[in-house]
Structure formats: structure tokens, C-alpha cells
Structure 1
Amino acid sequence: MKKAGILNRHLSGALAELGHGDGVLVCDAGMPIPDGPRVVDLAFRAGVPSFAEVLDGLLAELVVEGATAAREVRAANPAAAALLDDRFPELGLVSHDELKARSAGARLVVRTGEARPYANVLLRCGVFF
């Protein structure tokens, strides 16, 4: 048994399969999940686990070279916008519809229990060397 890091076996295994350039969508409970990507659904109850908890757990284990979010997050969810700006100084912003379209190309979707709007980000994996 692992003693640290992400303990969820489905998520840990899915992360180990990612490579350079792969997309990972971290999303709130309301985001439509496209057909195609592998999905690890962590949602338990409204707000549990939070977008911030899951994002920070993923960032502790992944190399991320880029991130894209919906520009609507700025007005609709200032807390999520501040979190994203803090974690990603060069955050790319697109319309929510464009983010949904791009998420179809993700390799992995991680659904949180977040119940505030636009708490979604599409991560692009990098390499550690």
C-alpha cells in the first residue's frame, strides 16, 4: 500500500499512464463529461472533495506545462479564478464552450464534488527532464 500521495487506486493508475502532451481535465460536479477520455469520478457530496483539494493533489504528482480554463470563471467564481491564477501564472483562457470542446481530447477527466460554477481546468502534461 502507498503511504503518501494519491491513494485512490484508479486515479493513481491513470496518472501513471499519462505522457508528455496528454490532457487532464479537472472539473466540477456539473461539467459535462465527454465520451472518450478515461474518467475518475471522485465526487462524493456537493463540495466534497473540493476543486482546490483535488487540483493541489494532482499538481503534487504531475508535471504540468500548461493550463486552460473558461474565461467565465473570473466573474462567476472569483475564488476559483484566484486559485487558478496562483497555480498557473500563464493561464490560458477560452470560452466555456471552447473548454468543453477541448475536453473531448483529454486523456483523463477527474471529476470533483465542487459545487461552484466554472471550477474547471484542462491541464497539459509536461516531462520531468
Structure 2
Amino acid sequence: MKKAGILNRHLSGALAELGHSDEVLVCDAGMPIPDGPRVVDLAFRAGVPSFAEVLDGLLSELVIEGATAATEIRDANPAASALLTGCFPDLALVPHERLKELSAGARLVVRTGEAQPYANVLLRCGVFF
């Protein structure tokens, strides 16, 4: 048994399969999930686990070279916007409809229980060397 890090076996295994330039969508409970990507659904109830908790756990295990979120996050969810811009100074912003289109190319979708609007980010994996 693992003693640290992400303990969810489905998520831990999916993360181990990611490579350079693979994309991971971390999304709120309301984001439409496209057909195709592997999905690890962590949602338990509204707000549990939160977008911030899941993002923090993922960032402790992944090398990220880029991130994209919806432009609408700035006005509709200032807390999530501040979190993302704090984590990713070069955060790319696109209209929400475009983010949904881009998410179809993700290798992995991690659904949280987040119940605040536009708490979604598409992460692009980097390499550790």
C-alpha cells in the first residue's frame, strides 16, 4: 500500500500512464465530459472534493508545462481564477465553449465535486528533466 501521495488507485494508475504533452482536464461536477478520455470521477457530493484540493494533489505529482481555463472564470469564480493564476502565471484563457472542445483531446479527465462555476482547467504535462 502507498503511504503518501494520491491513494486513489484509479487516479494514481492513470497519472503513471501520462507522458509529455498529454493533457488532463480537472473539472467541476457540472462540466460535460467528452467521450474518449479516461475518466476518474472523484465527486462524492456537492463541493467534495473541491477543485482546489484535487488540483493541489495533482500538482504535487505532475510536471505541468501549460494550463488553459475558461475566460468566464475571471468574473464568475474569482477564487478559482486567483488559484489558477497563482499556480500558472502564463495561464491561457479561452471561451468556455472552446475549453469544452479542447477537452475532447485530453487523455484523462478528473472530475471533482466542485459546485462553483467554471472551476475547470486543462493541464498539459511536461517532463521532469
Shorter-normalised TM range: over 0.9
Which residues of structure 2 form unaligned runs of 5+? none
1:34 aligns with 2:44: no
Q: Secondary structure at the match of 1:82?
A: helix
Query: Where does 1:1-129 land on structure 2 (aligned, <5 Å)?
Result: 1-129=1-129
For 1:85 and 1:96, the matched residues in 2 are separated by: 17
Q: Structure 1 runs of 4+ off > 6 angstroms?
A: none
For 1:86 and 1:12, the matched residues in 2 are separated by: 25
Identity of aligned residues (%): 85
For 2:101 and 2:109, the matched residues in 1 are separated by: 13
Q: Deviations over 1:85-127 (max 9, x none)?
A: 1000000000000000000000000000000000000000000
TM-score using structure 2 length: 1.00
Tell me which amino acid in the other structure corresponds to 1:62.
Answer: L
What is the aligned length? 129
For 1:63 and 1:81, the matched residues in 2 are separated by: 20
For 1:86 and 1:46, the matched residues in 2 are separated by: 24
For 1:95 and 1:56, the matched residues in 2 are separated by: 24
User: What's the offset of the Cα at 1:42?
Assistant: 0.1
Tell me which amino acid in the other structure corresponds to 2:99.
Answer: L
